[in-house]
């Protein structure tokens, strides 16, 4: 036991102390956040400047005042004694960015309103102006129909349709899809990144010829398990740092760029379909209704189980590779395949979580860590969860035991290409 | 008293009888040579002695008890032929890690490493990485990590390969010193001149079987071919050479190498030369070198082992 902990310590510390670990661990979230910030910054960059718009209201639509929505930073100035043709030539010279012309219109068929500009008006500004005009037209129509604003409010319907489940729980479709997808991808990444890291670690030991030296002090199984656990801890550390950094930066970002956060919500509101904003807030509310505890528990469970299972497979592959990188690719493919397959099932399971394929994928142990994580937000029947977990535990114990046999022989074998048949033969060998 | 006894060890692989019924024992404090051509089964044998492999059949006795791979491992230091180090790890950390795996406490390991590093003039290496070391340097480090925990049994597989004479001597001296302090050393190599120089006792294995076992002196005597080198102070004439007492292997002006006819004694030959009026300056028996014995015994068997079907 003491020896395993020594191996774990070495595997962990040598990796965590490496410069490349620090760089990737810190840079990756910075790049993600930076990318995210850049997208927002670019898309809202125009709207942070105040646009000055000259308004020529020939149709008396606005009655000299414009109703601005929240966060609207457009400065409107009404001009008189001009025509569309005459002012079109000089609004730039007079210091306006745009020129809004409202002809005499029929409020039932309001056409011909135009916003003159030199180059295309950006979408944010355009939608702000449109919103103001729409408000004005609505008011005129209400006046014409003799409806008081209060009455209008009373009539106006804003219904969202509920999706009650027969099991009596709340429907969380939209946010569940997002969370499910994120969980599935996360497990997929963990299996791929740290699985191959285990394989490289084993190869390193074999190629640098240290394996036999170590094995004369430690049992091969202890060495393999120590490596797998050590690298698993590296993974947990790395993901922990990433999560802390990403969450931290997300909170920090608005403090550093206050206007940016403001603009982001504005952008969401300004988007042509108002339901996006609606969905967004709905999603935020939806998180509360997700089974957070269950998700975290399952994430940890499938992370540990899936990782141990695949890492032991990767370790076995690493142990039989002598030097040839190409050989590595050839041997590693059969191990990668179920992971990729699971990813594909996962993308299907997210949209249709109770399909036969999704249920199969979430119970079959080679794919269950990824697929079940995607289904977990959608109210999985308890028996499926239990069967899936039991199968995973049994499989990973079986695989660790099985791969230890391959590992034990492979790690001491030099300069020989190992075939699948030989590996299967090793499985039957006594220790 | 024997530190290690092997009784009828067998290890069969799918296509080879790697070790086929080998028994021998090694005295405490001796330097023991395990010899054999490539693929003779030496490494498999050593891996069984170090507990890496379990024998299919047979028994290993260690220090009077049955060998227990888990607990006796701390009493063994093994430097395998295929050896290496973690390339990216610092030398000091690496030595510390390997020592701790052998059951030393951290402070204990630290003190001993410092002592050895001082002895081998490696103090400045502590924070260097293995990839910065030359082959000879990492060899020295490997030797240190093998003997650091003061094992009762030290197994060195080709310990001098890649070492320059100065460093080889340094390690050789340490081997002697360790043996004097009571450690038993198994020394596996193809380099016969080293075996002759260092080892007390040898075992030669070929094709998985033991074909020779004995002290170096005894083995050389057993294989002697009655060859003598005789030097004279006056010139040898052709008529001086008799036909019945000996055969001349290599004639010369003042020196002869002869093979004595086994029916006669050394004195008969000396008498003969004296009677012929030759002044004998020296008369020495030429014992075969281990190299000759090795080649003689192994010759005729294919240089690399052929694979065979194993039925047993």
Predicted local distance difference test score (pLDDT) of residue B109: 92
Whether residue B127 lies inside any domain: the answer is yes
Same-domain status, A318 and A399: yes
Split into its structural domains, chain B has a count of 2
Average pLDDT of B125-149? Answer: 87
Which segment, A222-226, A253-257, B160-164, is predicted with the most confidence on average?
A222-226
In what side-by-side order are the strands of the sheet with A52-57? A75-78, A52-57, A98-102, A114-116
Nearest 10 degrees: CA dihedral of B304, B308, B311, B312?
A: 10
* Reported pTM: 0.73
How many beta-carbon pairs below 8 A join chains A and B? 60
Domain ends where: A123, A155, A187?
A155
CB-based contact B82:A414 (threshold 8 Å): yes
Q: Would you mind telling me the total number of residues written for chain A in this entry?
A: 431
Longest CA–CA separation in chain A, Å = 102
Task: Kindly give the interhelix angle for B135-147 and B106-119, rounded to the nearest 10 degrees.
Answer: 130
Split into its structural domains, chain A has a count of 2
CA distance B251 to chain A (A): 49
Contact A212 B52 (CB under 8 A): yes
Whether residue B75 lies inside any domain: the answer is yes
When CB atoms are compared, the residue of A219, A414, A431 closest to B82 is A414
Residues within 8 A of A (CB atoms), B 143-162 only: 145
d(C-alpha B143, C-alpha B153), whole Å: 14
Same-domain status, B180 and B261: no
Domain ends where: A155, A180, A209?
A155
Using a CB–CB cutoff of 8 Å, tell me whether A430 touches chain B.
yes
Same-domain status, B213 and B238: no
CB atoms < 10 A from the CB of B175, how many?
20
Same-domain status, A203 and A327: yes
Same-domain status, A218 and A364: yes
Nearest C-alpha neighbor of A315 from the set A411, A398, A392, A422: A411
Contact A208 B50 (CB under 8 A): no
Same-domain status, A133 and A281: no
d(C-alpha B203, C-alpha B34), whole Å: 5
d(C-alpha A75, C-alpha A80), whole Å: 17
Whether residue A199 lies inside any domain: the answer is yes
- Calculate Rg over the CA atoms of chain A: 31
Using a CB–CB cutoff of 8 Å, tell me whether B44 touches chain A.
no
Write the DSSP string, A42-90.
Answer: HHHTGGGSPPEEEEEETT--STT--PPPTT---EEEE--S--HHHHHTT
Q: Give the chain B residue nearest A412 (alpha carbons).
A: B82
What would the two tokens of residue A107 be?
Answer: 């409020």
Domain ends where: B206, B221, B236?
B221
d(C-alpha A175, C-alpha A182), whole Å: 11
Q: Which residue has the tokens 């170096």?
A: B216
Same-domain status, B33 and B97: yes
What would the two tokens of residue A284 be?
Answer: 């935020």
Band the pLDDT of A272: cuts 50, 70, 90: very low
| Of A288 and A80, more confident | A80
Task: Kindly give the interhelix angle for A173-207 and A368-375, rounded to the nearest 10 degrees.
Answer: 160
d(C-alpha A84, C-alpha A101), whole Å: 7
d(C-alpha B184, C-alpha A274), whole Å: 85
Q: Partners of B188 in the beta sheet?
A: B34, B157
Q: 3-state SS string over B180-199?
A: HCCCEEEEEECCHHHHHHHC
Contact B73 A217 (CB under 8 A): yes
d(C-alpha A315, C-alpha A335), whole Å: 11
Range of the domain at B259: 225-286
What CATH number does the domain containing B254 carry?
3.30.70
CA distance A308 to chain B (A): 24
Average pLDDT of A103-121? Answer: 83
CA distance A200 to chain B (A): 13
- Chain B residue numbers with beta carbons less than 8 Å from the beta carbon of A423 are none
Best residue of B50, B92, B97, B99 to probe chain A, by most A CBs closer than 10 Å:
B97
Using a CB–CB cutoff of 8 Å, tell me whether B138 touches chain A.
no
Using a CB–CB cutoff of 8 Å, tell me whether A208 touches chain B.
yes
CA distance B106 to chain A (A): 11
Whether residue B301 lies inside any domain: the answer is no
Whether residue A166 lies inside any domain: the answer is no
Domain ends where: B221, B236, B269?
B221
What confidence tens digit (pLDDT) does each residue in B163-200 have? 888 888 888 999 999 999 999 999 998 888 888 888 98
Neighbour-count burial of B187, counting CB atoms closer than 10 A to its CB (0-12 exposed, 13-18 middle, 19+ buried): buried
Same-domain status, A85 and A188: no
Contact A209 B84 (CB under 8 A): yes
d(C-alpha B143, C-alpha B289), whole Å: 28
Whether residue B293 lies inside any domain: the answer is no
Output the CA–CA distances (angstroms, integers) from residue B45 to A67, A406, B312, in the order listed: 93, 21, 19
Q: Partners of B280 in the beta sheet?
A: B232
Same-domain status, B207 and B71: yes
Predicted local distance difference test score (pLDDT) of residue B312: 44
**Who contacts A347 (Cβ-Cβ below 8 Å, separation ≥6)?**
A181, A184
Same-domain status, A414 and A272: yes
Whether residue A163 lies inside any domain: the answer is no
Domain ends where: B166, B188, B221?
B221
CB-based contact B28:B1 (threshold 8 Å): yes
Whether residue A23 lies inside any domain: the answer is no
Task: Kindly give the interhelix angle for A258-270 and A123-144, rounded to the nearest 10 degrees.
Answer: 50
Same-domain status, A310 and A398: yes
Whether residue A38 lies inside any domain: the answer is no
**Who contacts B4 (Cβ-Cβ below 8 Å, separation ≥6)?**
B25, B26, B49, B60, B61, B62, B63, B153, B184, B186
- Chain A residue numbers with beta carbons less than 8 Å from the beta carbon of B85 are 208, 210, 213
CA distance B133 to chain A (A): 14
Using a CB–CB cutoff of 8 Å, tell me whether B34 touches chain A.
no
Predicted local distance difference test score (pLDDT) of residue A44: 64
What confidence tens digit (pLDDT) does each residue in A298-357 have? 888 999 999 999 999 999 988 888 776 777 788 888 889 999 999 999 888 888 888 889
| Of A328 and A398, more confident | A398
What confidence tens digit (pLDDT) does each residue in B251-301 have? 888 888 888 888 888 888 888 888 888 888 898 888 888 888 888 888 766
Contact A212 B145 (CB under 8 A): no
Average pLDDT of A105-124? Answer: 82
Indicate the average pLDDT of chain A.
81
Average pLDDT of A97-109? Answer: 84
Output the CA–CA distances (angstroms, integers) from residue A53 to A79, A92, A121, A126, in the order listed: 10, 10, 11, 11
d(C-alpha A123, C-alpha A136), whole Å: 20
- Chain A residue numbers with beta carbons less than 8 Å from the beta carbon of B102 are 217
What would the two tokens of residue B90 be?
Answer: 């610092």
Domain ends where: A155, A190, A217?
A155
Whether residue B131 lies inside any domain: the answer is yes
When CB atoms are compared, the residue of A205, A217, A414 closest to B101 is A217
d(C-alpha B161, C-alpha B143), whole Å: 12
CA distance B306 to chain A (A): 16
In the predicted model, is pLDDT for residue A376 greater than 80? Answer: yes
Same-domain status, A244 and A112: no
- Chain B residue numbers with beta carbons less than 8 Å from the beta carbon of A425 are 14
Nearest C-alpha neighbor of A373 from the set A334, A340, A347: A347
Whether residue B107 lies inside any domain: the answer is yes
Same-domain status, A105 and A178: no
Residues within 8 A of B (CB atoms), A 380-419 only: 412, 414
Same-domain status, B273 and B211: no
Contact A209 B83 (CB under 8 A): yes
- Chain A residue numbers with beta carbons less than 8 Å from the beta carbon of B131 are none
Same-domain status, B106 and B125: yes
In the predicted model, is pLDDT for residue A251 greater than 90? Answer: no
Same-domain status, A220 and A318: yes
Predicted local distance difference test score (pLDDT) of residue A277: 46
Using a CB–CB cutoff of 8 Å, tell me whether A216 touches chain B.
yes
- Chain B residue numbers with beta carbons less than 8 Å from the beta carbon of A18 are 88
Contact A216 B51 (CB under 8 A): yes
Contact B98 A216 (CB under 8 A): no
Whether residue A24 lies inside any domain: the answer is no
Range of the domain at A342: 171-427
Same-domain status, B146 and B277: no
Same-domain status, B15 and B34: yes
Sign of CA pseudo-dihedral B209, B211, B212, B213: positive
Same-domain status, B94 and B30: yes
Predicted local distance difference test score (pLDDT) of residue A311: 94
CB atoms < 10 A from the CB of A92, how many?
15
Phi, psi dihedral angles at A391 (to 5 degrees): -60, -40
Antiparallel, parallel or unpaired: β A75-78 and A52-57: parallel
Same-domain status, A127 and A182: no
CB-based contact B60:B67 (threshold 8 Å): yes
- Chain A residue numbers with beta carbons less than 8 Å from the beta carbon of B78 are 212-213, 216
When CB atoms are compared, the residue of B51, B85, B97 closest to A208 is B85
What confidence tens digit (pLDDT) does each residue in A179-188 have? 788 888 888 9
Output the CA–CA distances (angstroms, integers) from residue A343 to A208, A303, A310, in the order listed: 34, 15, 14
- Chain B residue numbers with beta carbons less than 8 Å from the beta carbon of A410 are none
Whether residue B305 lies inside any domain: the answer is no
Phi, psi dihedral angles at A76 (to 5 degrees): -100, 140
CB atoms < 10 A from the CB of B271, how many?
13
Predicted local distance difference test score (pLDDT) of residue A273: 44
CA distance A25 to chain B (A): 19
Same-domain status, B144 and B214: yes
Whether residue A12 lies inside any domain: the answer is no
Q: Give the chain A residue nearest B102 (alpha carbons).
A: A217
- Chain A residue numbers with beta carbons less than 8 Å from the beta carbon of B83 are 209-210, 212-213
Same-domain status, A216 and A131: no
What CATH number does the domain containing A125 carry?
3.40.190.10
Whether residue B120 lies inside any domain: the answer is yes
Whether residue A150 lies inside any domain: the answer is yes
Output the CA–CA distances (angstroms, integers) from residue A47 to A41, A231, A253, A255, A420, in the order listed: 10, 47, 19, 19, 62
CB-based contact B187:B161 (threshold 8 Å): no
Same-domain status, B46 and B161: yes
Using a CB–CB cutoff of 8 Å, tell me whether A425 touches chain B.
yes
d(C-alpha A9, C-alpha A177), whole Å: 38
When CB atoms are compared, the residue of B14, B78, B87 closest to A216 is B78
Same-domain status, B189 and B248: no
What CATH number does the domain containing B12 carry?
3.40.50.300
Q: Which has the minimum average pLDDT: A194-198, A236-240, A388-392? A: A236-240
What confidence tens digit (pLDDT) does each residue in B14-56 have? 777 888 889 999 999 899 999 888 888 888 899 899 888 888 8
Contact A212 B101 (CB under 8 A): no
Predicted local distance difference test score (pLDDT) of residue A390: 94
Contact B86 A208 (CB under 8 A): yes
d(C-alpha B276, C-alpha B80), whole Å: 58
């Amino acid at each position: 036991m003491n020896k395993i902990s020594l191996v774990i310590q070495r595997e962990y510390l040598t990796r965590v102390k490496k410069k490349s670990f620090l760089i990737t661990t810190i840079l990756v979230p910075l790049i993600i956040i930076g990318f995210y910030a850049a997208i927002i910054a670019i898309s809202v960059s125009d709207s942070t400047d105040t646009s000055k718009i000259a308004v020529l209201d020939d149709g008396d639509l606005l009655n000299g005042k414009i109703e601005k929505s929240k966060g609207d930073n457009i400065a409107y100035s009404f001009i008189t004694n001009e025509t569309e043709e005459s002012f079109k030539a000089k609004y730039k010279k007079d210091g306006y960015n745009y020129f809004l012309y409202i002809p005499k219109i029929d409020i039932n068929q309001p056409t011909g309103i135009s916003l003159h500009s030199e180059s295309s008006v950006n979408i944010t500004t355009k939608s702000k102006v449109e919103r103001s005009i729409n408000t004005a037209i609505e008011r005129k129509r209400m006046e014409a129909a003799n409806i008081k604003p209060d009455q209008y409010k009373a009539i106006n319907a804003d219904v969202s349709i509920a999706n009650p489940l027969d099991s009596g729980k709340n429907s969380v479709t939209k946010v569940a899809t997002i969370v499910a997808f994120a969980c599935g991808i996360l497990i997929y990444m963990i299996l791929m990144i740290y699985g191959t890291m285990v394989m490289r670690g084993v190869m390193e030991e074999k190629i640098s010829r240290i394996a036999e030296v170590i094995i004369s002090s430690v049992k091969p199984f202890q060495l393999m398990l120590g490596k797998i656990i050590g690298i698993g801890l590296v993974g947990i550390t790395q993901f922990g740092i990433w999560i802390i950094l990403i969450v931290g930066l997300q909170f920090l970002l608005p403090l550093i760029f206050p206007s940016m956060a403001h603009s982001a919500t504005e952008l969401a509101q300004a988007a042509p379909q108002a339901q996006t904003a609606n969905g967004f807030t709905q999603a935020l509310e939806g998180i509360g209704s997700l089974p957070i505890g269950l998700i975290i528990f399952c994430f940890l469970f499938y992370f540990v189980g899936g990782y141990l299972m695949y890492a032991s497979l990767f370790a076995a592959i690493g142990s039989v590779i002598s030097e040839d990188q190409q050989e590595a690719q050839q041997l590693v493919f059969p191990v990668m395949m179920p992971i990729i397959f699971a990813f594909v099932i996962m993308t299907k399971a997210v949209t249709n979580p109770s399909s036969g394929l999704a249920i199969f994928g979430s119970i079959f142990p080679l794919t269950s860590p990824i697929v079940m994580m995607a289904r977990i937000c959608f109210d999985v029947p308890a028996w499926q969860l239990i069967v899936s977990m039991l199968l995973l535990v049994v499989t990973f114990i079986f695989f660790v035991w099985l791969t230890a046999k391959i590992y034990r022989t492979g790690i001491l074998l030099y300069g020989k290409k190992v075939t699948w048949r030989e590996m299967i033969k090793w499985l039957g060998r006594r220790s | 008293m024997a530190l290690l006894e092997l009784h009828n060890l067998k290890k069969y692989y799918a296509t080879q009888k790697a070790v086929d019924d080998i028994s021998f024992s090694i005295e405490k404090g001796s330097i023991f040579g395990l010899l054999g051509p490539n693929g003779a089964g030496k490494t498999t044998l050593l891996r069984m002695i170090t507990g890496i492999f379990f024998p299919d059949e047979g028994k290993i006795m260690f220090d009077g008890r049955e060998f227990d791979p888990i607990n006796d491992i701390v009493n063994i230091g093994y430097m395998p032929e295929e050896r290496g180090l973690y390339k990216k790890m610092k030398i000091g950390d690496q030595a510390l890690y390997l020592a701790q795996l052998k059951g030393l406490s951290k402070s204990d390991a630290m003190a001993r490493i410092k002592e050895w590093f001082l002895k081998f003039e490696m103090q400045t290496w502590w924070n260097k990485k293995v990839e910065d070391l030359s082959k000879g340097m990492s060899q020295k480090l490997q030797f240190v990590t093998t003997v650091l925990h003061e094992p009762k049994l030290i197994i060195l597989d080709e310990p001098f390969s890649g070492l320059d004479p100065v460093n080889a001597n340094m390690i050789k001296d340490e081997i002697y010193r360790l043996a004097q302090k009571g450690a038993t050393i198994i020394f596996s190599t193809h380099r016969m001149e080293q075996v002759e120089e260092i080892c007390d006792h040898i075992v030669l294995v070929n094709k998985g079987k033991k074909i020779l076992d004995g002290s170096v002196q005894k083995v050389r005597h057993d294989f002697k071919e009655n060859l003598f080198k005789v030097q004279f102070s006056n010139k040898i004439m052709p008529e001086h050479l008799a036909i019945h007492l000996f055969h001349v292997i290599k004639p010369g002006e003042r020196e002869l190498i002869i093979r004595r006819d086994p029916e006669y004694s050394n004195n008969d030959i000396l008498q003969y030369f004296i009677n012929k009026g030759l002044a004998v300056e020296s008369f020495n028996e030429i014992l075969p070198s281990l190299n000759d014995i090795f080649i003689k015994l192994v010759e005729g068997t294919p240089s690399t082992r052929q694979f065979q079907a194993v039925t047993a």
